Amino acid sequence: MKLCHIGLERHVGEVAGSICPGSHDVSVAGRRAAGLSQRRRRHFALVHAFLLVEGTGKRREEQAMTFYALAGTPEQDKVAPDTMAALCEL
């Protein structure tokens, strides 16, 4: 399917190595530009979505790795370079 009528072919599905990968990732040319997560409980649902429009995917990856390092989590080792991109880059 064309994304926003600007000629970008999108794919929906996990982008391995991206920040918090999931089955609702939206990618263009193998690089994640959007994502959706949800958590459902008995009386509520929490839905979080993002769409990278400006900036660079590389900067977002660097910020996530810094956060993971400061938080002391092993997630920092799972973020692969060049797995994210903003729409302006694509």
DSSP output for the chain: -EETTTTEEEEES--TTSSS--TT-EEETTEEEEEEEEEE-SS-EEEEEEE--SS-HHHHHHHHHHHHHHHT-GGGGGPPTT-B--TTT-
Which pLDDT does position 75 carry in this prediction? 67
Which pLDDT does position 72 carry in this prediction? 85
What's the whole-model pTM score? 0.74
Q: pLDDT tens, 41-90?
A: 889 998 888 888 899 999 988 888 888 888 887 766 678 889 999 988 98
Which pLDDT does position 58 carry in this prediction? 92
Q: pLDDT tens, 11-51?
A: 999 999 888 888 889 999 999 999 988 888 889 998 888 88
Q: Please check whether residue 44 is in contact with residue 37, taking contact to mean a CB–CB distance below 8 angstroms.
A: no
| Catalytic residue positions, numbered | 20
Which pLDDT does position 27 carry in this prediction? 92
